[in-house]
Amino acid sequence: MLTDHPRRYELANELHARPFPALTAPCRAAFVAIKRETDAATRDRSLDRAHLDALLDRFGAQRPAPGATHFFGQLGKHRLKWESHTEFVTYTLFSDGVADQPFDGRMFEVFPADWLAEAPGVRVTSALIRVEAETPNDEIAPKLDQWFVPESLACSRVLDGSATIASDFRIDTNGHVRFAVFTTAETGQRRVGRIVQRLTEIETYKTMAMLALPRARALSADLGVMDGTLSELVGGLREGRSQTEETLSGLLTIGSDLETMLARSSFRFGAMEAYEALVQQRIEVLREERFGGRQTFAEFMMRRFDPAMRTCRSVQRRMEALAERAKRAGDLLSTRVNVDRADQNARLLRSMDERSAAQLRLQKTVEGLSVVAISYYALGLVASLLYPLGVRMGWSKEMVMAAVVVPVVLAVWWAVRRVRKGIDR
């Protein structure tokens, strides 16, 4: 029998682990996403699980299996959906019927205040979703004008006209973003659940992607200072005004700061790209159609969300470009150092050549003086040896010395040259 991979069933079940809720209109939902302020991706996830267990214990609900990253179950007369993500956890409450006062926030009070205060993180976003059934189009417009800010309102028909969704993506006085869903009589429970789930995902991923914007703005100011400093250093290299040690120190400072920036921001900008893609994908699957001449969710994101994402990407590219410029400036400095070193070596070689020439001239001078000195002493010796012979021939001492001067000098000069040639070999 063929052996299965040890994780085959685990991986297959993961595809079906987070089903959409089945909701019957009219209904309502309250949603909150909680994230640790720093290093959320490496957080202790057992704290998230303990926080969930504390909520379930208050309502006497059954706990999920150990190690679970999602949960869907009854919480009193409500239904709770809990999901653990890379950086955050989400809690969504579903309840039948709608409140007489739209978006009054009472449903959110199901989450105990003291339990919320003990959350292992902070609120990233929260939302109230109101789902109304079989609302005529002529009744939807007045409700939208009453519930939302017209300037920011986005509204569209979705999923082949099976529902109308609307939101202004603003935080109300209770601290929540509002979403409205108006379904038709033909809209099934699972389709309503998918629409509500998509809305919570759009809001969550939009907010998570926007977390990169404050980081980008802070980095932009620092990059402006670094850009000016780097330009000054490169200008000094071109004009020869700066000292090598000072330039090297400046480039090392800029390079290390940029590497630190890139390391600290790479995760945030990478996560931004992923969250942005999820937002666009979630909106795309809704298959929007314009409603009443109002902007769609996609158009709202294009006008309000996309510019923020482009700003973040611009800062990221600027940071990478500045790091590349700093690297090229380092290469220029290295080239300058090599040129200076080559020039210094050339000057040293010329100096050595000059010293060698001077030494050669001195050597020739000493050689000439040596010939004179040796010749003087050799002449005395030869004259003393030949003087008795000269007396027999009737020569005086001076005549003997005069006769042997030239041969002695030539002999000494020849001997000195032989010695020098032997040394040179």
Q: pLDDT tens-digit profile of 348-374?
A: 888 888 887 777 777 767 666 666 677
What is the model's pLDDT at position 321? Answer: 84
Is the per-residue pLDDT at 176 higher than 80?
A: yes
Strand 163-167 relative to strand 154-158: parallel, antiparallel, unpaired?
antiparallel
CA gap 197, 365 in Å, rounded:
103
CA distance 245 to 224: 24
Q: Is the pLDDT of residue 405 over 80?
A: no
CATH class of 212-347: mainly alpha
- Vertex 99: Cα angle to 97 and 105 (nearest 5): 120
End-to-end CA distance of the chain: 89
Grade residue 345 by pLDDT with cuts at 50, 70 and 90: confident
Main-chain phi, psi angles of 18, to 5 degrees: -125, 70
Number of neighbouring beta carbons within 10 Å of residue 285: 12
Distance of CA 353 to the CA centre of its chain: 54
Check whether 330 has a pLDDT greater than 90: no
The SS3 of residue 184 is coil
Mean pLDDT (the chain, rounded): 85
Q: Are the beta carbons of 244 and 164 closer than 8 angstroms?
A: no
Residues 6 or more apart in contact with residue 22 via CB below 8 angstroms: 189, 190, 192, 193
Helix (H) or strand (E) holding 279: helix 244-285
**Residue 40: CB partners within 8 Å, gap ≥ 6?**
86, 87, 88, 121
DSSP code of residue 294: P
Percentage of the chain beyond pLDDT 90 is 51
* 188 φ, ψ (degrees, to nearest 5): -80, 170
pLDDT tens for residues 236-250? 666 555 566 677 777
Sort residue 51 into left (φ over 0), alpha (ψ -120 to 50) or beta. Answer: alpha
Categorize the per-residue pLDDT at 326 as very low, low, confident or very high, splitting at 50, 70 and 90. Answer: confident
Alpha-carbon distances of 146 from 97, 142, 155, 227, 298, rounded to whole Å: 20, 6, 14, 49, 23
Only one residue has tokens 């482009």, namely 310
Distance between CA atoms of residues 160 and 194, nearest Å:
14
Residue 413 buriedness (CB in 10 A; 0-12 / 13-18 / 19+):
middle
Close Cβ partners of 182 (under 8 Å, ≥ 6 residues apart): 131, 132, 133, 135, 140, 163, 164, 165, 166
Domain ranges of the chain: 16-189, 212-347, 357-420
Whether 119 shows a pLDDT value over 90: the answer reads: yes
d(CA 170, CA 148): 8
pLDDT bin (cut points 50, 70, 90) of residue 44 is very high
Q: What is d(CA 87, CA 102) in angstroms, rounded to the nearest whole number?
A: 31
Q: Name residue, tokens 């480039």.
A: 251
Do 174 and 111 contact (CB within 8 A), yes or no?
A: no
Q: How confident is the model at residue 333 (pLDDT cuts 50, 70, 90)?
A: low
pLDDT tens-digit map of 246-269 = 777 777 777 777 887 888 888 999
**Which residues make beta-bridge pairs with 164?**
157, 182
